[in-house]
Structure 1
C-alpha cells in the first residue's frame, strides 16, 4: 500500500499536467486591415476589437470614430456571434455631428478548411438596425452586409487574404460591392505587418480604390495592439486615414 501511495504521489503531477486543457492559439482579429479573417473565436471565449479612426474624406470633410468596437463570442469551433458599435463624429465647414452609428448584429460561420489551392473560408453576415442609432445617423430601413473571407498560408511567415461581398446602407436600395486583398508577414513571433488594397463599387456610382498598411504586436496570446494608415488611390476615395487599436479576449 505504501508503495502504491508513493507511486501515485510521484505520477500525479504528470497526470494532472497531461489533463490540462490546451491553450488556444494566439488571438486573431479582424482589425486593423479591411480584410476580415476567416478565423473563429475559440468556443466559450469573448473577444473585443476596438480602435480609434481619423479619416480625411476630402479638403472639406473629415470624420472620427472614437471608438469602433467589434464584440465577438465563440459559440463553437465553427460559429461566432458578432456585434458592432461605433461612436462617430462627422465634420464639415458648416456643421459637426456626433452620435451612435446604426448598431450591427451578425455572425461568422466557417465554411472550408485550407486544403491545397482551396483557401480557408468563412462567411460573415450582419444586419444593420436603424433604430439603434442616434437620430443624426438613423437609417430609413434595415440593411444587410455580407462578405466571404478567404485565406491562404503561403509559408510559416507569409499569408494572403481576400474578401468579396456587398453591403447596403439602409437609405438607398442599391448595393455597394466590396473587395479586399492583403498580404501579411510575420516579422517575429510577436510582430506582424501587412500591405493591402481594397475598393468599393456602388451600383449607381464610380468604383473607388484605396491602399493601406500597418503593424500588429502581440502582448500576450490574448492581447494585441495595432497601428495602420491608408491613402486613396482614385478620385472618389477618401484622401487618407490613420488608426490605432487593440484586441483582447477572455
Structure 2
C-alpha cells in the first residue's frame, strides 16, 4: 500500500512537470528535469543562462544551518528538502489604541509544520494558531474574544535557484479551512497564492520579497473580498550564529466594506543555537492609522 501511494505521488509529480513545460517554453526558463527524472530535481525550472541557478538537495541543506519562514512576514524562497521535517512557532503581542479604546492581542503558538514530499522542490505546509483579542473602552467596559484560528494548508514549490541577478523563486498555493470560531474567520474556505523571491547579495547581505493575493472576509460585515499583501525584507548576517533583518509589509484589501490598508515596519534578530535550532525576537510598528500601533514577539524553529 505504501509503495502504491509513493508511485501515485511520483506520477502526479511527473504530470505536474509535463504541464509546466509549456509555461517554461513561453517564459524563457528551462524545465529543471524532464519526465521520470523530474522528481529528482531541486527546482522545477532552471534559468536559461549561466549554470541555470544554484540549488541544493536535502543532504546539502542538512549540512548547513536551517532556513526558516519566521520571524519576518516574508516567507523563505526555498523549500526544506525531500524528507526533511521542520517545526516553527512562537508568540506575538500586539497593541492598538484610538481616541475611545485600546485593543490588545495575543497570538500563540503560531505553529507551522513543514515537510518535503515527493520531490526536493515540493513542501507540504500545515499551520495552526490560537488568538485572543481584548478591547478596553476608556472609562471601564472591556470585551474579549478568543479561539482557534482557521487551519492553514499549503504547498511551497521551489521554482528556480539564484543565477546572478536572477532570483531564487518559489510559488505558494495556500488556503485556510473553517475549523475555528466565526469571529476568527472560521466560516468558509479562503484560498490564496503567494510568490516568493530572494537574492543573496554577498556573504552577509540578502534581499527578498513576497507578493500575495488571498480571499479574505471583512472583520465587521464578514463579506468576502480580495486581499493583496506585499513585503520587502533585507537580511544581515552579523555573526556565524546571529542574524538580523529589517522589513516593510503592507496588507491591502480590495473591495472590503470596512477593512483598510495596513502598513508596517519591523525588525528582528535570529540566534542559531545549533544548525537545527533557531531562536528569534522581533518588534514592529504600524505606519498608518489602520495598522496596529506596535507588535512584538519571539519564537523557535526546529529542524528534525
Return the TM-score normalized by structure 1: 0.87
Corresponding residue number in structure 1 for 2:129: 86
Counting helix residues as a fraction of each chain, which structure ranks higher? 2
Query: In structure 1, which of residues 218, 222, 242 is the aligned counterpart of residue 296 of structure 2?
Result: 242
How far, CA to CA, are the matches of 1:207 and 1:134 in structure 2?
24
- Larger CA Rg, structure 1 vs 2: 1
- Post-superposition shift, 1:101? 0.4
Q: Does 1:27 align with 2:74?
A: no
Structure 1 range deviating more: 207-216 or 91-100? 91-100
Q: How many angstroms does 1:172 deviate by? A: 2.7
Number of equivalences: 229
| More divergent stretch after superposition (86-95 vs 204-213) | 204-213
- Aligned pairs for 1:96-107 (under 5 A) are 96-107=144-155
Look up the match of 2:19: none
Kept in 2: contact 1:24–1:42 (CA 8 A): no
Match of 1:167 among 204, 214, 229: 214
TM-score between both structures, scaled by the size of structure 2: 0.72
Counterpart CA distance in 1 for 2:143 and 2:149 is: 17
Q: Which residue, out of 210, 214, 225, partners 2:279?
A: 225
Using the TM superposition, give the Cα deviation of residue 34 of structure 1 relative to its aligned residue in structure 2, in angstroms: 0.5
Distance between the aligned counterparts of 2:163 and 2:278, measured in 1? 28
**In the alignment, is the contact (CA less than 8 A) between 1:228 and 1:244 conserved in 2?**
yes
Aligned-residue CA RMSD in angstroms? 1.6
Deviation per residue, 1:23-43 (Å, 9 max, x gap):
432111110001111111122
Q: Name the residue aligned to 1:7.
A: none
Residues 150 and 163 in structure 1, CA contact (< 8 A), matched pair in contact too: yes
**Could you say which residue in structure 1 is the equivalent of 2:4?**
none
Q: Any idea what SS the aligned residue of 1:174 has?
A: strand
Residues 138 and 181 of structure 1: is their aligned pair in 2 closer, same or farther, counting only changes over 3 Å? closer
Contact 2:149 2:186 in 1 (8 A): no
The 3-state SS of whatever aligns with 2:188 is coil
CA distance in structure 2 between the partners assigned to 1:42 and 1:125 by the alignment: 18
Partner of 2:82 in structure 1? 43
Instruction: Please identify runs of 4+ aligned residues in structure 1 that moved more than 6 A.
Output: none
CA distance in 1, matches of 2:121, 2:198: 16
Within a 5 Å distance, the mapping from 1:1-250 to structure 2 comes to 23-59=62-98, 60-75=102-117, 76-93=119-136, 94-130=142-178, 132-134=179-181, 136-170=183-217, 171-204=222-255, 206-250=260-304
Unaligned runs of 5+ in 1: 1-20
Change in CA separation of 1:175 and 1:138 when aligned onto 2, cut-off 3 Å: closer
Higher relative contact order (CA 8 A, sep 6+): 1
> Shift in Å at residue 206 of structure 1?
4.3
